[in-house]
Amino acid sequence: MTRLRLATQTLIPWIFFFALYNHGRLELEIAIVVALVLNIALNFKALSQGSLFEWFSTVFFILLFFLIILLQHHLAIIHIHLITMTAFSLIVWYSLLIKKPLTLPYVSPSFAVEAARSHLFYELNYHLTIVWGVIFTVNAFLAIIPIFYSSERHLCIIIIPLILMFFGFWFTFWFPDWYKKRVLGEGGVINIRGLSNLRIAKLPIANIAYRCLGKGPVALLLPAAYMTMYNWDPDLLQKLSRNFTVVICDYPDIGRSTLNQGDFSIVNLNHAFSEFISFLSQAPITLIGYSLGGRIAQKLAIHYRDKIKYLVLIATDVGSNRSKKPDVQVMEFIEQIVHDPAKREELMLQIIFPPKVLVVLLNKLHAIYQAGTLVEDISNSMCQLEKQVSENWYQGNGTYGQLNEIDAKTLVISGEQDRIVDRQNSLLLINGIPGAKGLEFSDAGHGLIYQHPDVIAEAIIELTQS
């Protein structure tokens, strides 16, 4: 149910009540009865779920029914506006006291499920509810003034309260969108329209958490180290989803993915993702590997050739002593990234983007990172494991001697200014894999998928259509 529809459904009884309650005793009695009936009829589901505001409305109208219709309480009739505003202010402040801000149910429909469970979402509703608490409290105090100064009745009972209420409704619809964009990261993967709910493939070696987007042949994206499924560039995913069922996932022991057998190594991940590919599709798929994901993708294309039709390797290398490793300064940066989560975003951005590019993309990158960490983050121990996997990759045999066994149609994508995976590594892949094509960006670093998402997506689509 949309935010507007839910709010309208909740407010219809109150709109009817406020339209009639101040026009005479008969109109007030009609307003109470109709509002009570409408509230129960329209909000029965919310009442059954224990929704605070709907129960407040029901109890309030029942009390008015007894006070005004049955007991004919004179003071209650005269001061109905004061009673109403006081009751509203009390229920709003009470909702904050019990840490269930009154606006929670009405804002959550416009947010992804995971975002609506976050502490930032609670803070958003905390601020919204405070605004409504102030509005109702001010209106309650304004309702006292006509008791002593009857000439001010029209101003204090109608004009100022209406202005405050209109401001409250405007703020309630404007503030969540502003907050989502500036704080929650509206550009993040989690907010892509059409993204499936989280799914878990329960397999012998690992349980893989994943999400899907789009329709068509399967394109599986394997992420880089220190990256979750929510850190991809949304533009890249959306562009690919026009031609593919895009599958994003987490490595075992990140998010909801878990490792059932073996250790966290390239060899074991190779077997785990072979099972995952068979789970996703009976037909050969398009496999896209970024950095660490590219290393796993190479192994998969070598050992499970019948499962991979198209192979895309982004900012990755062949491992062993054949690869050109990052320099000492870069390795020091990576060491800090692993051990200092507070500075992880800042350090990552500095190392994977050229300085001039970072200035241009900073707001977009912050939104993607913020939206990603809002849902899940990577532990320090997991970062350490991924770092160890990379070190083992250079110390082991890698894939250099087996590249000629890859028969998938291959595209190798690199950035000329990549400080983590030198462009020479891409040349080894292009020259070693039969028929492989290369795409290099002269202005890009290791974060090339965020610099050129549209061009990369088009190149992948062209690879599968040629």
Same domain, 179 and 322: no
Same domain, 423 and 297: yes
Same domain, 257 and 170: no
Same domain, 146 and 196: no
Identify the domain boundary among 127, 153, 184. Answer: 184
- Pick from 320, 276, 297: which is nearest to 406 by CA? 297
- Number of folded domains that form the chain: 2
Same domain, 76 and 208: no
Query: Can you state the percent helix, strand and coil of the chain, rounding each to 5?
Result: 65, 10, 25
CATH number for the domain harbouring residue 358: 3.40.50.1820
* pLDDT at site 9: 78
Same domain, 229 and 157: no
Q: Divide the 466 residues of the chain into consecutive groups of 10 and give the mean pLDDT of each group.
A: 66 82 81 89 85 89 91 84 90 91 74 59 86 92 80 70 88 79 62 87 96 96 92 93 96 92 92 96 96 96 96 95 83 76 76 85 75 67 84 89 95 94 93 96 93 96 92
Global model pTM greater than 0.75: no
Same domain, 296 and 437: yes
Same domain, 214 and 148: no
For 9-74, the DSSP string reads: HHHHHHHHHHHHTTS-HHHHHHHHHHHHHHHHHHSHHHHHTT-HHHHHHHHHHHHHIIIIIIS--H
Six-digit token pair at 66?
A: 């007894």
Identify the domain boundary among 144, 166, 184. Answer: 184
**Rg for the chain, CA atoms, rounded:** 29
* pLDDT at site 399: 93
Same domain, 195 and 66: no
Q: Dihedral, CA atoms, 151, 156, 157, 159, nearest 10 degrees?
A: 110
Same domain, 154 and 11: yes
Identify the domain boundary among 184, 215, 231. Answer: 184
* pLDDT at site 154: 67
Domain that holds residue 350: 190-465
* pLDDT at site 339: 73
Q: Give the whole-angstrom CA distance, residue 375 versus residue 371.
A: 7
Q: Which class for 431: exposed (0-12), middle (13-18), buried (19 or more C-beta within 10 A)?
A: exposed
* pLDDT at site 308: 97
* pLDDT at site 239: 96
Same domain, 226 and 324: yes
- Pick from 32, 31, 142, 143: which is nearest to 78 by CA? 143
Same domain, 157 and 217: no
